[in-house]
Amino acid sequence: MNKSISSRYFRTTAFLLVTSITFLGVILMYFCVGYFRAESEKTLLTSVRSLRDNFSTFSVEKLDKLRSEATVSQAVGVVANATGSIFLLTDNYGSVLYTSDTTGVVNDSQTVSTKILNRAFSDGEYAELGELSGIYDHSYYSAGCPLINSNHQVIGYVFASRDAESLTAFLESMFSAFILSAGVMLLLSSIISIVLTGRLANPLRRITAAASAFGDGDVTARAPVGGDDEIAQLAVTFNDMADKLEAVDASRQSFMGNIAHELRTPMTTIKGFVDGMLDGTIPDDRRDHYLQIVSQEVGRLTRLTHSMLDITKLETGEYVVSAVDYDVWETVSTILFSREQQFIEHAIRLTGFNPVKVLVHADPDLVHQVLYNIVDNALKFTPDGGTIDISVTENIKLGFVTVAIRNTGEGIPADTLAYVFDRFYKADKSRGLHAEGSGLGLHICKQLIGRSGGKIWAESTPGQDATFLFTLPCAKPKPPERRTASRGGQGGNK
């Protein structure tokens, strides 16, 4: 069974159309029947009222002799022919005295029932759809009224009838016209529905084809976009998703290539030195030296592994930030004091160190890792005798604190400044005297600062210096302490 959108849309449209047309037909037939019946009763009542007025001067005896009154018979016949109706005159007991029928459909041996006569007398008029107490052998529209003379005596009753089969013929004609109109409307609606479903489904088919091609590995597959409706928005959304997935795929491939490269270098070094010691290429008096190099390479592998785990936690949302209010200078001081030996060893001057209490709302461990990575990066790229400057600026109005770390040196080229926070990005090693990192530190800093609600960026003057800056939210202001007023001038806080 075809379950495509086109077939479902067409079936739904066809069902709604057929249901609507059927409902419309029932309503139309109902009102037509009601209208035809009302018009028939109105015409018949008008006719019997006219005859009632003509017989107002008659007496009971004269009415009984109606059969011999040729003028009256002629008058009734004229009205009967003009209206297409059958007229009956009965006495007070319902016996038929006169009928305009010449076809034999009236059974004049039957009498109109007392119930009908009483209704006509009490209401002044009577109308029904039926056989008029068996006078007709099938249903007729009938209307009647009592004949009252000038002395206010009921001298008989007059009835006018019209065959109900005329309604059937009328309904058949109406139904035929309705079916023809409905058929034409269904045909046109089906053609329009097929065209519209095609216009609706074709863009979806193209999006499906693009998604299928993308799923089969063609990351360049895109859906064509036309118009500005919901389907066009779906195509735009799919293309945006495809662009992001293509970027992720490219990043993944780059990531895997960089990892392979970063792991291959130290592992090759370790294997070469170990093999050299095992086969005797490296003399015994040099083993300690090369074992120290192996140890350094193992440490490098360990740091790389930890960095990769940190990135995985950050990108999967496993890293939990526990923000508190604390003095950011405490972290700055701790890191600078821990790297004091490197400052002394390379004769690097430290400026701007002015620990004045500045409160931030952040995770101390997170800020410690960020500052450690940036200071470590600054030490790597600062030449001997260079300068590292630290500054902490609080902007209470804007609600953030800016930490800036500037180091002198070659700086960062303008064409690579936008990539320093990318994974595995490393500037030319010839620019740094001690640069042996994995290229993950600054990327981790960017992720951590983003988790803290701040931002991080780099500025540089090539050939002079490089500055890394990041922001952290200011500490939340504490509500003022509320004191309890003393009573009677005595007492204190309670």
Confidence of residue 279 (pLDDT cuts 50, 70, 90): confident
C-alpha–C-alpha distance, residues 316 and 318, integer Å: 6
C-alpha–C-alpha distance, residues 49 and 44, integer Å: 9
Please check whether residue 248 lies inside any domain of the structure. yes
CATH number for 346: 3.30.565.10
Instruction: Specify the pairing of strand 86-90 against strand 154-163.
Output: antiparallel
Q: What is the pLDDT of residue 430?
A: 38
Residues 278, 352 within the same domain: no
Domain termination residue (choose one: 126, 147, 169): 169
Q: What is the pLDDT of residue 193?
A: 78
Residues 299, 269 within the same domain: yes
Q: What is the pLDDT of residue 315?
A: 61
Distance linking the first and last C-alpha atoms of the chain: 81
CA angle 477, 481, 482 (to 5 degrees): 135
Residue with tokens 């209010």: 325
Q: What is the pLDDT of residue 57?
A: 61
Within 10 angstroms of residue 77's Cβ, the number of other Cβ atoms is 13
DSSP-H helix ranges across 219-286: 230-278
Residues 86, 104 within the same domain: yes
Confidence of residue 71 (pLDDT cuts 50, 70, 90): low
Please check whether residue 55 lies inside any domain of the structure. yes
Residues 140, 254 within the same domain: no
Q: pLDDT tens, 143-184?
A: 999 988 777 788 888 899 888 877 777 777 878 888 888 888
Residues 28, 165 within the same domain: yes
Q: pLDDT tens, 193-245?
A: 778 777 777 777 788 888 888 888 787 788 887 777 777 888 888 888 888 88
Residues 161, 245 within the same domain: no
pTM: 0.45
Is 332 or 264 the better-scoring residue by pLDDT? Answer: 332
- Mean pLDDT, all residues of the chain: 79
C-alpha–C-alpha distance, residues 293 and 265, integer Å: 13
CB 86 within 8 A of CB 161: yes
Is 370 or 428 the better-scoring residue by pLDDT? Answer: 370
C-alpha–C-alpha distance, residues 480 and 304, integer Å: 48
Q: What is the pLDDT of residue 491?
A: 45
Residues 400, 436 within the same domain: yes
What average pLDDT does range 427-433 have in this prediction? 42
What average pLDDT does range 476-480 have in this prediction? 66
Please check whether residue 24 lies inside any domain of the structure. yes
Q: How many domains does the chain have?
A: 3
Please check whether residue 176 lies inside any domain of the structure. no
Range of lowest pLDDT (16-25, 290-299, 435-444, 457-466): 435-444
CATH number for 102: 3.30.450.20
The torsion defined by the Cα of 119, 120, 121 and 123, in degrees rounded to 10, comes to: 70
Residues 38, 86 within the same domain: yes
Residues 91, 127 within the same domain: yes
% of residues, the chain, pLDDT over 70: 80
Q: What is the pLDDT of residue 329?
A: 92
Please check whether residue 191 lies inside any domain of the structure. no
Please check whether residue 252 lies inside any domain of the structure. yes
Confidence of residue 327 (pLDDT cuts 50, 70, 90): very high
**Domain span holding position 268:** 230-316
Residues 330, 289 within the same domain: no
The rounded Cα 406 to chain-centroid distance in angstroms is 50
Confidence of residue 7 (pLDDT cuts 50, 70, 90): confident
Please check whether residue 446 lies inside any domain of the structure. yes
Q: What is the pLDDT of residue 257?
A: 65
Is 350 or 490 the better-scoring residue by pLDDT? Answer: 350
Domain termination residue (choose one: 153, 169, 185): 169
Residues 367, 271 within the same domain: no
Residues 408, 286 within the same domain: no
CA angle 139, 141, 146 (to 5 degrees): 120
Is 82 or 138 the better-scoring residue by pLDDT? Answer: 138
CATH number for 275: 1.10.287.130
Please check whether residue 403 lies inside any domain of the structure. yes
Within 10 angstroms of residue 486's Cβ, the number of other Cβ atoms is 11
